Structure 1
Amino acid sequence: MSKVTLRKKPISKGRHSLYLEIYPPIYNPVTGIMQRKQYLKLYVYNRPRNEIEKELNKETLATAEYIRAQRQIDLQSQKYDFVSESKMKSNFLDFFEEQAAKRKNCYNWTMSVRYFKSFFGPKIAFTELNESLCEEYADYLLSGPALGRSKIRIKKNTAVAYFGRFRLTLQAAYKKRYLPNDLGSIIENITPQETHRPFLFMEELERMGNAFCPNPIVKRAGLFSAMTGFRYSDIETLVWKEIHGCEGNYYILYSQEKTENAEYYPVSDETIKLLGKRGAPDSKVFEGLKYDQTVTSLKKWLSNAGIEKHFTFHGFRHTFATLQIAAGTDIYTVSKLLGHKDIKTTQIYAKIVDSLKKEASEKIKINVFNIGESIKSIQ
């Protein structure tokens, strides 16, 4: 039950300051903290010395009581936002698992929950969450062993992914009023480690297109990813009703599995041809696509194309980004097509292209023993 009580606080010159004591505390959007007291900037005399001071006290107290009653009504009608005590005492892990369940068995979400459980245990109240504990969890991910493998640590970028899901959950908890502070935005994410991003050159991609793949669905899905930059998760869940338009003006309307952002994506006629015969609206475009089959089929497919490099399905997305930038597509356009929230992520591909250009420029070498004589002879 919400309750607002009028209180007095002694100050100088024989006066009292009036304030409201609020239970449970309300959230102050300016300071970002829970507020139990609200000072009214109203004062009364502790011992009025004359009729004027007595009348002033009477009017001031009447004003303060009116404000108190109004605040009580506001709280009961939920006009003022506040975090209930029962919500704050509930189990954060239950909320975390609910958030993970919404992501359709997404591996990174599942593992993020498992690692937090291994760090803290099966139960932790929202009231126990603070910035220090969040930082300790980040350290745990970076230094702790992989689950079930005591001698192996998880990779730094894997820790980045797991901690990122944890931060998203904190932000969701704040929006739903389980937390008084936006911890998810306050704490910093783990800095990702820049990694090598394998991709196919255009000539290699053409060889893949002409090579035999044991699983035709994997081949169509891989080439589709190279043509669009779609992630495996988005390809696996793509349904026919998300593909719109006609020849010369095809586009896809879908929600990204990773970012949950609604996307409008224009595609070429050549890309649409990869999809084959159109199916029922709610049926999957790549029906029967399984990730474990993708791994084995891709290895044989690469071999048939005469390509010897470590390459996973996600490499097709890297291929799309690298070839687009190499072809002169604006980096902001590529970033938008990839669905990146931060252009810094896309700039990694620009660095790859720049390094390739530098490497190409150094391949032409002229052995001139006396450059001065050579220039003189030309003149």
Structure 2
Amino acid sequence: MKISIYKRKLADGRESIFIEYYKGSVVSKDGKRKHLRDYENLQLYLHKNPKTQVEKNENKETLKLAENILAIRQTEYIQGKFDIKNTTKAKRTFLNFFSEMVDDREINFSHDNYGNWKSTYVHLKKIVPTNLTFDEIDENFVKKVKDYFDKQAITKSNLPLSQNSKHSYFNKFKACLKKAFDDGFLSINYSTKVKSFEQAESQREYLTFDELQSLAKSECKYPVLKKAFLFSCLSGLRWSDINTLKWCEVRDEGDVSKVNFRQEKTDGVEYLYISKQARELLGEKQEQQERVFKGLKYGMTYNTEIIRWCNRAAVSKHITFHSARHTNAVLLLENGADIYTVSKRLGHRELRTTQIYAKIVDSKAREAAEIIPELKIEM
């Protein structure tokens, strides 16, 4: 395509300036050649025969502005604003491209990040044809994927996706579209065309001290799971960090014990002091490179056992392994730890993340519930 300035004479003697987009020509069935042109009216005008210096200066400034607009349009053309695609890249299949992004997360990002990308990929394979290429993607396709996450997608437990899962999975899909645009596989950034799902404030399920005590006394089918879960309640470590914890990261320094480890999620190095009871849960030290919780696995078997374990302990809440981390935060705050210390122990990058737990243990709000004098009610 050739993009240039085009001038058209007006009845009042001025010239109107346009941007001309010349798209080549075609030959009709009767052998006549037709040139394909589009025009953009810039609403800029020139004096046809400038007579004064003022008119000459006005023409000069108007032409300079038109040339600047022309340069912008030519740049937009190069960037693909006119659906000009790299035909080789456009024939790349979307799912193959997304799969490579998932693999990259497994190598270079945290376990949690990789897990979310992998789950998104599993869902996308249900809605996106395996042979769909980038040149077949349009806004309707993006809306179709969003509609799938909103109304059709279900969890492994055959339940609809939570609002936050919709938000997370669809944003991973949009991130892939943006990467494809940046890398030249798409000529239009479709990630900006469809609005994301709103993110809901997640409910953090946790155990009270009495419930945790009940769990500690109850039988769990897998001893390593019980030990790891209770250790998370006492230390606040995530499952991913507990799962990879090695004995070389457990430091006994006199009467004090701590774990020095690199967080899977944030990749930050942490130095976490642990209580004597938490250290006792770990048992005697083994070979330096051995996992502390040998045999611990992530999967439906262990997740189901947590539910059964809670049933034996008469705990009716929906508890997952991550609830142990929430439990640690709540118990610390309830027993006098300040929010900054709790934030540091949990490895939060922002204090506002920890403030969610402070809402749970808001003693002032609890006192306010009883501040109204008791009514004498007759029914």
2:271 aligned to which of 246, 255, 266: 266
Alpha-carbon shift at residue 101 of structure 1 (Å): 3.5
Aligned AA for 1:167? Answer: K
1:289 has 2:296 as partner: yes
The 2-side partners of 1:333 and 1:131 are apart by 47
The C-alpha deviation readout for 1:220-268, integer Å capped at 9, x for no partner, is 2102222343333443244456667954664321321xxxx31233312
1:100 aligned to which of 95, 99, 102: 102
1:352 has 2:352 as partner: no
Q: After TM superposition, list the pairs within 5 Å mapping 1:50-61 onto structure 2.
A: none
The C-alpha deviation readout for 1:2-41, integer Å capped at 9, x for no partner, is x9x88554479779999999xxxxxxxxxxxxxxxxxxxx
Aligned AA for 1:201? Answer: T
> Under a length normalisation based on structure 1, what TM-score does the superposition of the two structures give?
0.60
Aligned AA for 2:291? Answer: K
Does the 8 Å contact 1:134/1:187 carry over to 2?
A: no
When residues 92 and 367 of structure 1 are mapped into structure 2, their CA distance, relative to the original with a 3 A threshold, is closer
1:120 has 2:125 as partner: no
1:144 has 2:145 as partner: no
The C-alpha deviation readout for 1:167-193, integer Å capped at 9, x for no partner, is 343454455454563827984234336
When residues 227 and 147 of structure 1 are mapped into structure 2, their CA distance, relative to the original with a 3 A threshold, is closer
Question: Equivalent residue of 1:267, what SS?
Answer: strand
The corresponding residue for 1:85 is: 86
The 2-side partners of 1:332 and 1:174 are apart by 41
Structure 2: give runs of 5+ residues left out of the alignment: 23-47, 49-66, 79-83
The corresponding residue for 1:253 is: 262
Alpha-carbon shift at residue 366 of structure 1 (Å): 6.2
Greater shift, 106-115 or 175-184, is seen at 175-184
Alpha-carbon shift at residue 147 of structure 1 (Å): 8.0
Identical pairs, percent: 30
When residues 241 and 309 of structure 1 are mapped into structure 2, their CA distance, relative to the original with a 3 A threshold, is same
Aligned AA for 2:298? Answer: Y
The 2-side partners of 1:185 and 1:286 are apart by 46
Question: Equivalent residue of 2:361, what SS?
Answer: helix
The 2-side partners of 1:352 and 1:138 are apart by 33
When residues 235 and 190 of structure 1 are mapped into structure 2, their CA distance, relative to the original with a 3 A threshold, is farther
Question: Equivalent residue of 1:291, what SS?
Answer: coil
Aligned AA for 1:96? Answer: F
The 1-side partners of 2:138 and 2:17 are apart by 36
Aligned-residue CA RMSD (Å): 5.4
The 1-side partners of 2:190 and 2:316 are apart by 44
Alpha-carbon shift at residue 126 of structure 1 (Å): 3.4
The 1-side partners of 2:306 and 2:156 are apart by 28
When residues 312 and 114 of structure 1 are mapped into structure 2, their CA distance, relative to the original with a 3 A threshold, is closer
The C-alpha deviation readout for 1:337-362, integer Å capped at 9, x for no partner, is 55667766655433332389527953
When residues 15 and 214 of structure 1 are mapped into structure 2, their CA distance, relative to the original with a 3 A threshold, is closer
When residues 172 and 236 of structure 1 are mapped into structure 2, their CA distance, relative to the original with a 3 A threshold, is farther
Alpha-carbon shift at residue 331 of structure 1 (Å): 4.8
Structure 1: give runs of 5+ residues left out of the alignment: 22-45, 47-63, 76-82, 370-379
1:154 has 2:160 as partner: yes
Alpha-carbon shift at residue 315 of structure 1 (Å): 1.7
2:196 aligned to which of 180, 188, 200: 188
The 1-side partners of 2:356 and 2:307 are apart by 26
Does the 8 Å contact 1:7/1:20 carry over to 2?
A: yes
Does the 8 Å contact 1:230/1:338 carry over to 2?
A: yes
When residues 112 and 367 of structure 1 are mapped into structure 2, their CA distance, relative to the original with a 3 A threshold, is closer
The corresponding residue for 1:50 is: none
When residues 353 and 164 of structure 1 are mapped into structure 2, their CA distance, relative to the original with a 3 A threshold, is farther
Greater shift, 112-121 or 245-254, is seen at 245-254
Q: After TM superposition, list the pairs within 5 Å mapping 1:165-184 onto structure 2.
A: 165-174=172-181, 176-179=183-186, 181=189, 183=191
The corresponding residue for 2:206 is: 199
Does the 8 Å contact 2:238/2:325 carry over to 1?
A: yes
The 1-side partners of 2:246 and 2:184 are apart by 35
The 1-side partners of 2:245 and 2:198 are apart by 31
Does the 8 Å contact 1:242/1:254 carry over to 2?
A: no
Tell me the number of residue pairs that the alignment of Structure 1 and Structure 2 aligns. 322
Does the 8 Å contact 1:243/1:253 carry over to 2?
A: no
The 1-side partners of 2:21 and 2:287 are apart by 65
